[in-house]
Amino acid sequence: MSFVYLLTGSNLGNREGNLRKAKSMIEARIGNILALSAVYETEPWGFTEETNAFFNQAMKVSTLLSPIELLDELLNIERELGRERKMHKYEPREIDIDILFYDDQLIETKRLIIPHPKMHLRRFTLAILQEIEPDFIHPALKKDISTLLKECGDESWVRRCTYERGSESEREGR
């Protein structure tokens, strides 16, 4: 049994619903969700054109899948939820699922790099992951998530969603 940390994100369509569907599919096809963050609304990171804010959520999942099997299954889930990968790296998407960590392994192949190579540069990733695992030690950087967040130079905004006025789908009349 291995433990993986994933970050889901959506900035197209019913963002909240997209995260909910991804969570359900991950639980059915990847493994048990052991920890789940709140949903956060975050500033788009790395985009050159203006786009919608993202909804993001982090989770810790137990799995029997190998790293490559995990990647393939997550790509299948993204495709089934409407993700079309194009040539541009940063583009609006119904769903994005990033593998942040796979146990404490360091993996670098043509298809997969773990830990996620840019996670320590992204405030939204660190802030959300800190909610569920603040003391996890990044296996390459040898620092815990809380320390990496304190040291992160990214100043983009991250807001915890409260849904006091109803869920996103209710606000959009769905």
pLDDT tens per residue, range 108-150: 999 999 999 999 999 999 999 999 999 999 999 999 999 999 9
Cα–Cα distance list, 84 to 27, 88, 89, 104, 108 (Å): 22, 11, 11, 30, 24
Q: What's the whole-model pTM score?
A: 0.88
Mean pLDDT of 89-100: 85
Domain assignment of residue 174, yes or no: no
User: Range with the lowest mean pLDDT among 34-38, 91-95, 121-125, 155-159?
Assistant: 91-95
Domain assignment of residue 159, yes or no: yes
**The dihedral formed by the CA atoms of 58, 60, 61 and 64, expressed in degrees to the nearest 10:** 120
| Domain range for 109 | 2-165
Domain assignment of residue 55, yes or no: yes
Name the nearest CA neighbour of 99 among 87, 108, 86, 88: 108
Q: With beta carbons less than 8 A apart as the criterion, state whether 44 and 122 touch.
A: no
Residues across the chain: 174
pLDDT, averaged across the chain: 89
Q: Choose, from 15, 96, 122, 123, the residue flagged as catalytic.
A: 96
The answer to whether 96 is a known catalytic residue is yes
Domain assignment of residue 154, yes or no: yes
Mean pLDDT of 158-162: 90
Mean pLDDT of 24-38: 98
Q: Choose, from 15, 20, 85, 93, the residue flagged as catalytic.
A: 93
Q: Give the pLDDT of residue 43.
A: 87
The answer to whether 15 is a known catalytic residue is no
Structurally, the chain folds into a number of domains equal to 1
Name the nearest CA neighbour of 68 among 99, 46, 26, 42: 99
Domain assignment of residue 20, yes or no: yes
The answer to whether 103 is a known catalytic residue is no
Domain assignment of residue 170, yes or no: no
Q: Is the pLDDT of residue 100 over 90?
A: yes
Domain assignment of residue 10, yes or no: yes
Q: Choose, from 15, 20, 29, 83, the residue flagged as catalytic.
A: 83
The answer to whether 98 is a known catalytic residue is yes
Domain assignment of residue 21, yes or no: yes
Q: Choose, from 15, 98, 122, 123, the residue flagged as catalytic.
A: 98
CATH code of the domain in which 146 resides: 3.30.70.560
